[in-house]
C-alpha cells in the first residue's frame, strides 16, 4: 500500500472490509485475484478521493524554502565612514554569523539618499534586500520633495531603528562663541554656512529654523556624508555643522569646538556641553532624537522582518555593539519589530509636521 494511504486509518478500514476472493486456476497455473463489481467501484471511488485530497493538500504539505538561502544585501544611502555605515557593517557582520550567509554592505550615496532608497523600494520583497539611512530621509522626504520615484508609505516598511544619540553642534574654533546664543549673535553679523550631511537632514532643518527664529542668514551646504563636512568646518570653509560625536571628535583636535548638543539629554562623551534646550531653545525640533532606520520593501514576509529586528536587539547586547555605542556616544539600543512600529506611528507625524511648518522644498 502506498505510504500516503497507510497514514489514513479510515481508508485502511474501508479496504480491509472489502470482499476479496483469490482463485488458483490449475489449467494455466495462474494466481488471480477477483473482486465483486460493487467493491471494485468502491475502491475506485476511494482511490479517486485520495488522489484529489493529495492534490489539494500537496501545496500545504510542501515545505517553504528556507530563509536565508543566499547572501543578504544592506544598502547604505551614505558613503563609508559615517555612523550609518558603521552600524550597517557591525550589525551585518553579526548577522552573517547568526544566519550562516554573507551579508553584503553596499554604499549607494547621492540625491539626499534617494538613490539608495529607490534601489531597495524597487527590489523584490523576499527578505534579501534592505536599506539603512537617516530618519529624515524616510520620514520627511515625502514633504521636502514634490516628487519621489517611490512612495514612502506604500513601498517600504520599517524593521528597526538604530539610535544616533545626541548630535553635536560644532563650530570653527576661531569663532568667538562659547554657546549657541553667542554663535547666533555672531552669525547675524558675519557670513555663515552650516554643513549638513544631506539635503533635508537634521542640520538643514536646524539651519532653516534658526534663520526663521533669529533672522539670521545661515546658508546650508550639503555634503555626501559627515567626513568632508567636518573637514570644511575645521578649515574654516564652513562655520558650523551638526553631526555624530565620532565624526565631530575626529576633527576636534584640528579646530572644531562643540557649543551644544541636540536631544533631551547631554552626550555621555560631552557632559559639560549643554543641550540646545538648556540654552533656551524651546522649539520641538531640538528635543527630538532621530535615528538610522533599517527598512525593507513592503510585502517582505513578517517572519523575516521580525527575525531581522530580533537579531538587531540581540546584536545590541554584544561587546562589539557596546564598543560602537561607546565610540559614537550612544546610550540607547534598537528595538524589536512591534516597538519599532509603535514608535514609528507616534514619531513620524511629528517630524512630518516640522517639515511642513518649515516649508522647505528641495525640488
Q: What is the pLDDT of residues 183-203, one digit of tens each?
A: 999 999 999 999 998 877 889
Distance CA 50, CA 320 (A): 56
Q: Are residues 172 and 275 in the same domain?
A: yes
Which is more confident, 208 or 311? 311
Distance CA 19, CA 33 (A): 11
Average pLDDT on 162-168 reads 93
Distance CA 311, CA 127 (A): 14
**How many domains are contained in the chain?**
3
pLDDT at 57 over 90: no
- Residue 326's pLDDT band (cuts 50, 70, 90): very high
* Beta-ladder partners of 169: 242, 260
Q: Are residues 150 and 81 in the same domain?
A: yes
User: What percentage of residues in the chain have a pLDDT greater than 90?
Assistant: 61
How high is the pLDDT of residue 45? 55
Q: What is the pLDDT of residues 2-22, one digit of tens each?
A: 334 444 444 344 434 444 333
pLDDT at 283 over 70: yes
Residue 35 lies in a domain: yes
Residue 353 lies in a domain: yes
Distance CA 60, CA 81 (A): 47
Q: Are residues 327 and 181 in the same domain?
A: no
Q: Are residues 270 and 302 in the same domain?
A: no
How high is the pLDDT of residue 354? 82
* Alpha-carbon distances, residue 298 vs 23, 94, 154, 352 (angstroms): 67, 24, 7, 20
Q: Are residues 27 and 122 in the same domain?
A: no
- Residue 49's pLDDT band (cuts 50, 70, 90): low
DSSP string, 169-201: EEEETTS--SSHHHHHHHHTTS--EEEESSTTS
Residue 363 lies in a domain: no
What domain range includes position 249?
A: 168-287
pLDDT at 294 over 50: yes
Full-model pTM: 0.74
Residue 66 lies in a domain: no
Helix 83-99 and helix 245-252: axis angle, to 10°? 130
How high is the pLDDT of residue 299? 98
Q: What is the pLDDT of residues 198-215, one digit of tens each?
A: 877 889 989 999 999 999
Q: What is the pLDDT of residues 117-161, one digit of tens each?
A: 999 999 999 999 999 999 888 988 888 888 899 999 899 999 999
> What CATH number is associated with residue 87?
3.40.190.150
Residue 129 lies in a domain: yes
Residue 201 lies in a domain: yes
pLDDT at 31 over 60: no
How high is the pLDDT of residue 41? 54
> What CATH number is associated with residue 247?
3.40.190.10
Distance CA 143, CA 127 (A): 28
Amino acid at each position: 500500500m502506498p505510504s500516503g494511504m497507510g497514514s489514513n486509518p479510515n481508508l485502511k478500514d474501508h479496504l480491509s472490509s472489502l470482499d476479496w476472493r483469490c482463485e488458483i486456476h490449475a489449467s494455466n497455473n495462474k494466481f488471480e485475484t477477483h473482486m465483486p463489481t460493487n467493491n471494485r467501484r468502491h475502491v475506485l471511488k476511494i482511490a479517486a478521493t485520495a488522489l484529489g485530497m493529495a492534490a489539494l493538500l500537496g501545496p500545504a504539505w510542501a515545505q517553504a524554502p528556507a530563509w536565508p538561502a543566499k547572501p543578504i544585501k544592506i544598502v547604505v544611502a551614505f558613503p563609508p565612514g559615517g555612523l550609518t555605515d558603521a552600524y550597517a557593517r557591525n550589525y551585518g557582520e553579526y548577522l552573517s554569523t547568526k544566519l550562516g550567509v554573507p551579508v553584503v554592505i553596499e554604499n549607494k550615496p547621492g540625491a539626499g539618499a534617494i538613490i539608495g532608497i529607490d534601489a531597495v523600494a524597487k527590489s523584490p520583497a523576499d527578505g534579501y534586500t534592505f536599506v539603512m539611512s537617516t530618519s529624515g530621509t524616510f520620514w520627511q522626504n515625502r514633504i521636502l520633495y514634490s516628487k519621489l520615484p517611490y512612495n514612502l508609505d506604500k513601498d517600504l516598511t520599517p524593521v528597526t531603528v538604530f539610535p544616533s544619540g545626541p548630535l553635536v553642534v560644532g563650530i570653527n574654533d576661531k569663532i568667538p562663541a562659547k554657546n549657541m546664543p553667542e554663535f547666533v549673535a555672531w552669525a547675524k553679523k558675519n557670513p555663515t554656512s552650516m554643513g549638513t550631511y544631506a539635503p533635508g537632514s537634521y542640520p538643514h532643518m536646524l539651519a532653516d529654523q534658526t534663520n526663521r527664529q533669529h533672522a539670521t542668514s545661515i546658508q546650508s551646504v550639503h555634503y555626501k556624508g559627515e567626513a568632508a563636512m567636518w573637514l570644511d568646518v575645521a578649515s574654516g570653509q564652513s562655520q558650523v555643522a551638526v553631526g555624530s560625536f565620532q565624526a565631530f571628535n575626529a576633527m576636534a583636535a584640528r579646530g572644531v569646538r562643540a557649543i551644544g548638543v541636540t536631544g533631551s539629554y547631554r552626550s555621555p562623551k560631552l557632559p559639560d556641553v549643554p543641550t540646545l534646550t538648556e540654552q533656551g531653545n524651546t522649539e520641538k525640533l531640538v528635543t527630538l532624537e532621530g535615528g538610522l532606520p533599517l527598512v525593507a520593501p513592503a510585502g517582505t514576509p513578517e517572519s523575516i522582518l521580525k527575525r531581522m529586528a530580533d537579531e538587531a536587539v540581540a546584536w545590541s547586547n554584544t561587546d562589539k555593539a557596546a564598543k560602537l555605542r561607546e565610540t559614537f556616544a550612544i546610550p540607547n539600543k534598537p528595538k524589536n519589530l512591534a516597538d519599532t512600529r509603535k514608535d514609528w506611528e507616534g514619531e513620524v507625524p511629528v517630524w512630518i509636521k516640522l517639515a511642513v511648518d518649515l516649508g522647505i522644498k528641495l525640488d
